Chain A
Amino acid sequence: GAGVSQSPSNKVTEKGKDVELRCDPISGHTALYWYRQSLGQGLEFLIYFQGNSAPDKSGLPSDRFSAERTGGSVSTLTIQRTQQEDSAVYLCASSPSRVEGSPLHFGNGTRLTVT
C-alpha cells in the first residue's frame, strides 16, 4: 500500500522566493503533522491537523510559514520570502487517529535549500 508521499523530494530556491511543499498522507488517516529537521538537529514540530478540528499551529516559527489541509487529505506547507535559516528537511507524517496505538507514518521528506 502507498505510504506518505511528499513532493518535491528536493527544492533549491533563492532567498526571498516563496515555496510550496506538498504532502499526500495515507488514505483514511485523520491526523497529519509537519516537522522539520535542520542539519544536526532533532525533529522540530511545526503544525498538526486532526480531522475537522482547528489545526495546532503553535510550532510555526514565523508568520512566513503557513499550512493548509484540503478536504481532510492533501496538505501544503507554504514558506513565504524564504530565508537561509529555512534550509532543512521538511517531514510530513500521518496517523489514523491520536498518537496512542497509532504511531506516525513519515514520508521521506523534502530537502529545502535556500541559497
Chain B
Amino acid sequence: DQQVKQNSPSLSVQEGRISILNCDYTNSMFDYFLWYKKYPAEGPTFLISISSIKDKNEDGRFTVFLNKSAKHLSLHIVPSQPGDSAVYFCAASDRGSRLTFGEGTQLTVNP
C-alpha cells in the first residue's frame, strides 16, 4: 500500500527553466510534508517543508504547493540549475510520526 506516490521516475529540464516535481498521497491523516534531495552515495538532505494548514511555502528558488482536496503536492524549482540534478523524494508524516517516502524522481538539469 503505497501511501505516497511519485508517478514520474524521471524529469529532464533545461537550465534556467522551471522544474515541477509532483507527489500524490492517499492518507488524509498526513499533516506535514517535506521534500528531500539525494545525490549518489549520499544520504537524503532536507530541502523544504509545508504544514497542512498552509498551501504554499517558498524558500529561494524552491516553492512547495499543497492541494489538500486533491491530496497533491508539488515542488517548483526556478530557475533550475545543473547542480539541482539529483533524486527528489517527497515525504509525509501523520502527527509527527515516522516519515513515509515516495519512490523518488530523478531530476536532470541540462546546461
* Residues of A with C-beta under 8 A to B32: 99-100
* Residues of B with C-beta under 8 A to A41: 103
Q: How many A-B residue pairs have CB under 8 A?
A: 58
Partner of B89, one of A33, A42, A107: A42
**A106 CB within 8 Å of chain B:** yes
Residues A43 and B46 in contact in the complex (CB < 8 Å), given A99-B96, A100-B51: no
Residue of B nearest to A35 (CB): B101
**B11 CB within 8 Å of chain A:** no
Contact between B43 and A103 (Cβ–Cβ < 8 Å)? no
Contact between B104 and A42 (Cβ–Cβ < 8 Å)? yes
Q: In the bound complex, what is the Cα–Cα distance between A105 and B51 (angstroms)?
A: 19
Contact between B97 and A108 (Cβ–Cβ < 8 Å)? no
* Residues of B with C-beta under 8 A to A100: 32, 51, 93, 96
Contact between A105 and B46 (Cβ–Cβ < 8 Å)? yes
Contact between A42 and B43 (Cβ–Cβ < 8 Å)? no
Contact between A42 and B102 (Cβ–Cβ < 8 Å)? yes
Q: In the bound complex, what is the Cα–Cα distance between A77 and B44 (angstroms)?
A: 19
Q: In the bound complex, what is the Cα–Cα distance between A56 and B91 (angstroms)?
A: 18
Contact between B98 and A45 (Cβ–Cβ < 8 Å)? yes
Residues A93 and B34 in contact in the complex (CB < 8 Å), given A35-B101, A42-B104, A99-B97: no
* Residues of A with C-beta under 8 A to B4: 42
* Residues of B with C-beta under 8 A to A93: 43
**A98 CB within 8 Å of chain B:** yes
* Residues of B with C-beta under 8 A to A42: 4, 6, 89, 101-104
Give residues in B with beta carbon < 8 Å to A.
4, 6, 32, 34, 36, 41-46, 49, 51, 89, 91, 93, 96-104
